Amino acid sequence: MSAVMITRKVTRKWEKLPGKNTFCCDGRVMMGRQKGVFYLTLFLIVGTCSLFFAFECPYLAVHLSPAIPVFAVLLFVFVMAMLLRTSFSDPGVLPRALPEEANFIEMEIEAANGNVMAGQRPPPRIKNVQINNQIVKLKYCYTCKIFRPPRASHCSICDNCVDRFDHHCPWVGNCVGKRNYRYFYLFTLSLSLLTIYIFAFNIVHVVLRSVDSGFVNTIKETPGTVLEVLVCFFTLWSVVGLTGFHTYLISLNQTTNEDIKGSWSGKNRVQNPYSHKSIIKNCCEVLCSPTYPSVLDRRGVMLEDLSSPTPSDASAASTHQSSNPVSQTTKSSAPLIPNEHTPDEAKPGIGSGTQKSTSSPKEEKPPSPTSPNAVAPAVIKESSH
């Protein structure tokens, strides 16, 4: 009998996950594929804070208070922690349906819709659920083959369905969803405070130096301060405005995706079923609710069976094939499909049979065993190794 070596390859589940996300540190870090703007965010934050620590903090610690650089360091560390936590975490990606699950859902949809006449458009694939005495539609995702949960949406950039999808933020290089929204909000809030803090003490630094050496000389002596003021001035409005917008959304328990689509403020004037009608309760639910675990199991182990014949078995099979060329010729001439019709050239005609029967005995010579055109017997015995 033939011997087969079965080897098992251990792989992590994140290596087989569909979508356009990138993974690092053996699946512990999960980001979007487009990370160029994220590196720009890191450069602006680290660069601006480095200039502040190098030029302003020594002077302000001596002339005003040593607590100024200490508080700036703490605020900088918190901003970086929230940025990395938002960028490197799973935003709430929903796993795609397995082939068996997708076939079952297709059967359910076909049974519910019935027979659709040819040329007619099939009905939309939606399900209705009731949340707080209000009907909410669950849409079917043709990419993930699932009915998306309430407030979930498919991100076209990451190519995944994200639970409580807010938006895809290129500045953090990741989607913002159910599992990292609070860290995104804390990042924007702390970044706004850090920008205001650096901008204000840059002005104080320029004013204190201008008293002694004049404004023009101060600008010439501290070019880093001028650069920090320009960067903070142009980024202050966008960061503070973004923080204010998300504060408004949190007070209503609403997402950016729902606000853009007008889900709860359109022509129908449908009320938000997720709002608690209280700003404090809405803020507590978004910012203080427990963190949900990831449903992807990125670092789970998968075992793949890789079968390969032994070297002795492979050499024996090759020796058998070389010593029995007749069986190879016969197998190649047999049809691949049992019901397959043979070509017209291979079919025995009536004339050929007549000629064979009327031929002289001299022409009827049995084929020699060594002849290459010898016909193999009808039954072929396969030898087992």
Q: What is the pLDDT of residues 47-63, one digit of tens each?
A: 999 999 998 899 999 98
- At residue 308, the pLDDT reads 57
- Which range, of 108-117, 192-201, 266-275, 279-288, averages the lowest pLDDT? 108-117
User: What is the band of 198 on the pLDDT scale with cuts at 50, 70, 90?
Assistant: very high
Mean pLDDT, residues 119-138 taken together: 77
Q: Using the predicted structure, report yes or no on whether residue 130 has a pLDDT greater than 60.
A: yes
Query: Structural domain boundaries of the chain?
Result: 13-95+166-288, 99-162
Q: Which helix (H) or strand (E) holds 283?
A: helix 279-288
Q: How big is the chain by its Cα radius of gyration, in Å?
A: 36
288 catalytic? Reply is no
Amino acid at 151: R
For 208, the enclosing helix (H) or strand (E) is helix 181-213
Mean pLDDT of the residues in the chain: 78
Catalytic residue (choose from 57, 144, 155, 169): 169
- pTM for the model stands at 0.73
What separation, in Å, do the N-terminal and C-terminal C-alpha atoms of the chain show?
A: 4
Number of helices and strands in the chain (H, E):
12, 11
The residue-averaged pLDDT of 345-364 equals 42
Task: Tell me what percent of the residues of the chain surpass a pLDDT of 90.
Answer: 36
Contacts with 339 (C-beta within 8 Å, 6 or more apart), sequence order: none
Q: Answer whether residue 4 shows pLDDT above 70.
A: no
The total of other beta-carbon atoms located within 10 Å of residue 66's CB is 10
Tokens of 196: 């205001």
Q: What is the mean pLDDT of residues 348-377?
A: 42
C-alpha distances in Å from residue 295, one per residue of 14, 233, 298: 12, 41, 9
Which pLDDT does position 335 carry in this prediction?
A: 42
* 253 pLDDT more than 80: yes
